[in-house]
Amino acid sequence: MAKVAFLGLGVMGYPMAGHLRAKGHEVTVYNRSPAKAQAWVAQHGGVSAPTPADAAKGQEIVFACVGNDDDLRSVTIGEGGAFAAMEKGAIFVDHTTASANVARELDAAATAAGFGFVDAPVSGGQAGAENGVLTVMCGGAPEIYARVEPVIAAFARMCKLMGPAGSGQLTKMVNQICIAGLVQGLSEGVHFAKRAGLDVEAMLEVISKGAAGSWQMENRGKTMNAGKFDFGFAVDWMRKDLGIVLDEARRNDATLPVTALVDQFYADVQKLGGGRWDTSSLLKRLEK
């Protein structure tokens, strides 16, 4: 069992920290809104801290899951940030979906200060976090990763080291590229089936068992057909992620025409008032 801190108790971080506590780890939490941290402690036990630095002091591993690069810098190297309080030999594990550049930046700062850093974005959405079955893509030094992998297992069904710092974030970018194309294809398929007069649920049952099958089809096809778009990962967050992807593509000269197009389709969904709808709501812009 480890002494750990968890910074950021949003829809992902709140249950992830809960799984750590349930597995017997000693957990200190920090959240920008103190009431959320107090609610977590009331539900799970452990303790809350008023700043990231206070949460990180004396911990073996400090986890974070916040909004974006700026939020991540704030809780690490900003005023009252965790890095100033972390002890030599400790490890910082970042589950934020952020840029590869900020991962490399923070890895360098951690190394200079004598502690480890792992960028470890996750996939699986709110349901994956709540059920403890996330997929975790990691970047960092092998010896550092080996120390945190057994602890990450509290909320992951798959965890793998992908390479040096930044590699986890790059892998998450590939994940989002693939999701964007899949959801658009599924949206067009459901839309076409409706216009063609097919029984959409029967159609999904059949083709999901063939080459067109995917996680998105199995888990979102029926809810899309029912016009339900409140299943976790929001359009606003996907646009943030795709912005990171497209920035990185400009740097590495990758050509991503479908990703760029779907990003604009998500902008259309935002204009429809769907910023908080889940990502399967691409169907809505076809039916407007």
Kindly list the catalytic residues: 172
CA distances from 77 to 86, 110, 123, 165, 266 (A): 11, 10, 26, 17, 32
Cβ atoms 7, 32 nearer than 8 A: no
Query: In this structure, what token pair is assigned to residue 37?
Result: 């941290």
Cβ atoms 184, 177 nearer than 8 A: no
β-sheet bridge partners, residue 63: 6, 93
Cβ atoms 266, 282 nearer than 8 A: yes
Q: What span, in angstroms and rounded, lies between the C-alpha atoms of 101 and 264? A: 24
Q: What span, in angstroms and rounded, lies between the C-alpha atoms of 29 and 39? A: 11
CA distances from 182 to 169, 178, 185, 212, 264 (A): 20, 6, 5, 10, 15
For the chain, what percentages of helix, strand and coil (3-state, to nearest 5) are there?
55, 15, 30
Q: What stretch of H or E contains 138?
A: strand 134-139
